[in-house]
Amino acid sequence: MVDSPPSRAYNPGESWHNRLHSMDEPFVLIVGAADTGRAPMAVALLRRLAEQRGLAWRIESAGVVGHDDDPAEPEARDALLIVGLDVSAHRARSLTAGLAQAARVMIAVDRGVARVVRARHPAATVATLGELAGRERDVPDPFRMQVGAWVQYAREIEALLLAGLPRLQALITGEAALPGEGRAPAVPAAPSDHRSGEARDLPGSFAPTAPEPRLAAVARVARLLELSAELPGVIDWAGARRQIEADLSVMEQPLAPGDLARPYVAVLRAMLGLCAESPTADHCTGLRSAVVRLQAPITSGDLEQLSRELAAFG
């Protein structure tokens, strides 16, 4: 019995998330230990690489240790946010026989995980990240390390995936095989973290719960600005700024009649424009405070306050 097609747990980009997946898309399964660290990071990174190249692959993850429904590690979420990806919706799951049978190729995050997968599913096509790239290299598990280490390993995972992409394509199409391994028959594929701020009460005004897209964008940008203040030597500000600018477009959408989000975001963009180079910690803190206000409808008082902050921002 083959499991029903697993639901996608990532949203690295709206275009990918909204794409209709055909039944003959190759299914690539990335397998980690707990499916809360390197595996969800690798999925998000490989999805971006595949989408950039127009490769219609279904890419998901699972783990060999039972941590079902656990979210991605906070440091994994922060590290990917720094490189422009979002795995806040990810929930871990266990590798099952159905998933292994459905996968065209399984990518293990290291050789230890690969040994477990090959022992349990000897007919499957399994390669490690290093094997795909032709390197004797396992990316260490950065569990309990600082976010800077997670960023470093995320970039290394991306480099291995990029180097291994031609071989992965050959494995998927059947043009190459791993020595000594059989192929599994291809089977057709059939809450946000809001630590960054709290919603304000607006007495006498409309104050609903913010729709998910705007609230999620606020949470992402607030956390990214917090990290930029804390880790100025680690954050790629050019990439962070692109992510912020993309999310500001989402924040422009009004939550209620009279919501002045659009002109408010225009002032925010002007503030962001003053940070062409890496911003100071004070600039990041000021921008973050301004962004958090977008968790509720923007009033004329909010707009006036931000305009005053802009005057003093430079």
pLDDT tens digits, one per residue of 50-94 = 999 999 999 999 999 878 999 999 999 999 998 889 999 999 999
pLDDT of 196 strictly over 80: no
Query: Torsion angle of alpha carbons 87, 91, 93, 98, nearest 10°?
Result: -70
Q: Which amino acid is at 144?
A: R
Please, which pLDDT band fits residue 208 given cuts at 50, 70 and 90?
Answer: very low
Query: Torsion angle of alpha carbons 70, 73, 74, 77, nearest 10°?
Result: -100
Distance between CA atoms of residues 27 and 186, nearest Å: 8
Q: Which backbone phi and psi does 22 adopt, to 5 degrees? A: -80, 160
What is the per-residue pLDDT for 178? 60
> Which residues, in sequence order, are CB contacts of 14 under 8 Å at separation 6+?
none
Alpha helices in the chain (DSSP H): 14-17, 38-52, 74-82, 97-102, 111-120, 129-133, 147-173, 212-230, 237-251, 261-273, 281-292, 300-313
pLDDT of 312 strictly over 90: no
What is the per-residue pLDDT for 314? 67
Report which of 258, 202, 193 is spatially closest to residue 220, judged by C-alpha positions: 193
Looking from the CA of 253 toward its CB, the CA atoms found within 13 Å total 13
Mean of the per-residue pLDDT values for the chain? 81
Distance between CA atoms of residues 294 and 280, nearest Å: 22
Distance between CA atoms of residues 169 and 189, nearest Å: 17
Query: Torsion angle of alpha carbons 170, 171, 177, 178, nearest 10°?
Result: 120
pLDDT digits (tens, 9 = 90+) for 227-238: 888 877 777 788
**Across-strand partners of 31?**
62, 108
Q: Which two tokens stand for residue 278?
A: 């890496």
The more confident residue out of 231 and 133 is: 133
Distance between CA atoms of residues 265 and 60, nearest Å: 35
Burial class (CB in 10 A: 0-12, 13-18, 19+), 282: exposed
Write down the CATH number for the domain with range 14-173: 3.40.50.2300
pLDDT digits (tens, 9 = 90+) for 103-127: 999 999 999 999 999 999 999 999 9
Domain boundaries of the chain, sorted by first residue: 14-173, 212-313
Burial class (CB in 10 A: 0-12, 13-18, 19+), 164: buried
Looking from the CA of 206 toward its CB, the CA atoms found within 13 Å total 11
pLDDT of 184 strictly over 50: no
The more confident residue out of 288 and 314 is: 288
Q: Which amino acid is at 106?
A: M
Burial class (CB in 10 A: 0-12, 13-18, 19+), 15: exposed
